[in-house]
Amino acid sequence: MKENIQLVKIPEGDYSDYRYEVIFKAYKWDPQVEDANTVSEYIAVLDETVVAEIASFSEQLAMETIEMETELLNNLFLAKELGLPNSMCRAMKKAKNYKKEDHVRLMRFDFHPTDEGWKISEVNSDVPGGFAESSILPEVAARFVPDSVPSEKFSQHLLNGFKKRIKPDGTIGFVHATSYSDDRQVMQFMGDYFEKEGYRALYLAPNHAKFENNRVFSTLENNKEELAGLIRFFPLEWMTRLPFSAKWQGYYSTVTPSCNHPVAMLTQPKSLPLIWNRLATDCKIWKQLLPETKLVIPLEYEDTDYIYKPVFGRVGGDITIKEATSEKEFERIKKEALKRKKEWIVQRKFNSLPVQTQDGKEFHLCIGVFVVDGVFAGLYGRINPHARIDEKAKDIPILVRKNGQEEL
């Protein structure tokens, strides 16, 4: 596996210009976290057989995930056991009119090379990130690896999903946390992309959306306007904590094409494997690729076999991989996990295999594989010196080398 993955360094004399391009052309307005640069100096080059393998896995995982969602929608008593907020469980009953063909279904599966082959750490089922990084970074980096090409362009796949459902002159609402540049950059990229194809983009905070008669309306600047579609980049479980969350109850029964519809939350919790034995869905590929997951039990800092993970964790936060977790941090997480057991899981730790660079360094690689409406839709890469891919991991473009082409 590792022999089919290369980390190629961008020439030092070109990196500064490349980073500026990433910021201004690839919408990477927040190119660092604290004092850590998050724009990688390397390019990941994958053999086409590697891409074909993880793309196939992802499409199979997506099929199983959608089957689980359908089953869970008809057995909502299980949603509460997954740890979904009570208000969400109640609202999900309104989604009985849900038709998957009416909405764009987006997922991102995170793959890691391990000593047991490919393993996944999670599915970003509700609101995955990495839109511009998957779509533009490979195009910007391609000149440095002339024998390789970008993979599928995510933004085009998402656009195509809406083209099947909405007329080209339709207005689409891009809902996000408008105060944060790292969220706005994602929505601005997609809005600009859609507008080039004839759509109109409205950038909305969650309180700018209104739901009436199963339709979505914008109330931006007190101007009520029906939307042809909705793209949400705001985690739905966060919505339940907002003072106006009741206004989003109509979202669950909306027939306005949405990405993603609330049913995506049924497979977002990392506690999902805990109910597999109660589902009729055959989760064969999930069981093959996801490490053993179980209810919270006491772990010790020296334990290298299992880790704590929050059920609704994001960006690698509070995952107790020892190389990235101090003993003090571990004890804090352990205390929290044992106190609020429904909000945490214990998972067997896989042994991530670092990939060596041309100049002798080693990085752990996470490959996010996008699937839109069941079809492979592009790759999003991040690397870190340690095995936890967290907020300080660097974004790395992924290119594909065709069989028969010479390695650099």
Q: Where are the alpha helices (DSSP H) in 218-362?
A: 236-239, 284-289, 327-339
Does the pLDDT value for residue 358 go beyond 90? no
176 three-state secondary structure: strand
Stretch (H or E) spanning 73? helix 48-73
Domain spans, the chain: 2-270+353-401, 295-348
Radius of gyration of the chain, Cα coordinates, nearest whole angstrom: 21
Q: Is the confidence at residue 405, as pLDDT, over 70?
A: no
pLDDT higher than 80, residue 1 = no
Residue 161 vs residue 2, higher pLDDT: 161
The span from the CA of 50 to the CA of 1, in Å, is 8
pLDDT at position 3 is: 66
Say yes or no to pLDDT of 408 above 50.
no
Distance CA 122, CA 173 (A): 28
Predicted model pTM: 0.96
Distances in whole angstroms, Cα of residue 210 to Cα of each of 96, 140, 222, 223, 379? 20, 39, 11, 11, 34
Spell out the residues 6+ positions from residue 196 whose beta carbon is closer than 8 angstroms to its own.
none
66 — phi, psi (to 5°)? -65, -40
3-state class (DSSP) for residue 376: strand
Q: What is the mean pLDDT of residues 20-32?
A: 93
Give kind and range of the element (H or E) at residue 123: strand 117-124
How many other C-beta atoms lie within 10 A of the C-beta of residue 143?
10
pLDDT digits (tens, 9 = 90+) for 201-248: 999 999 999 999 999 999 999 899 999 999 999 999 999 888 888 889
pLDDT of amino acid 293: 97
How far is Cα 29 from Cα 41, in angstroms, rounded to an integer? 17
Burial of 215 (0-12, 13-18, 19+ CB in 10 A): middle
Alpha helices in 74-225 (DSSP H): 77-81, 86-91, 131-135, 137-141, 154-163, 181-196
Between β-strands 362-372 and 355-356, what pairing exists: parallel, antiparallel or unpaired?
A: antiparallel
For 38, residues 6+ apart whose C-beta sits below 8 A from its C-beta are 30, 31, 32, 392, 393, 394, 395
CB-count burial class (<10 Å; 0-12, 13-18, 19+) for 403: exposed
- What would the mean pLDDT of 372-395 be, rounded to a whole number? 95
**Cα 144 → chain centroid:** 27
pLDDT over 70, % of the chain: 98
Angle, in degrees to the nearest 10, between helices 154-163 and 181-196? 60
Classify residue 406 by its DSSP letter.
P
Instruction: Compute φ and ψ for 238, nearest 5 degrees.
Output: -70, -35
CA distance linking residue 263 with residue 95, whole number of Å:
7
Q: pLDDT per residue over 258-289, tens digit each?
A: 999 999 999 999 999 999 999 999 999 999 99
Task: Output the pLDDT for position 189.
Answer: 97
CB 266 within 8 A of CB 82: yes
Task: Give yes or no for residue 403 having a pLDDT over 90.
Answer: no
User: Which secondary-structure segment (H or E) carries 253?
Assistant: none
Q: Select from 118, 133, 127, 107 the least CA-distant residue to 40.
A: 133
C-beta neighbour count of 359 within 10 angstroms:
9
Phi, psi of 149 (to 5 degrees): -135, 155
Q: What is the pLDDT of residues 283-328, one digit of tens each?
A: 999 999 999 999 999 999 998 899 999 999 888 888 999 888 999 9
Spatial contact of 174 and 159, defined as CB atoms under 8 Å apart: no
Residue 79's nearest CA partner among 235, 211, 237, 284 is 237
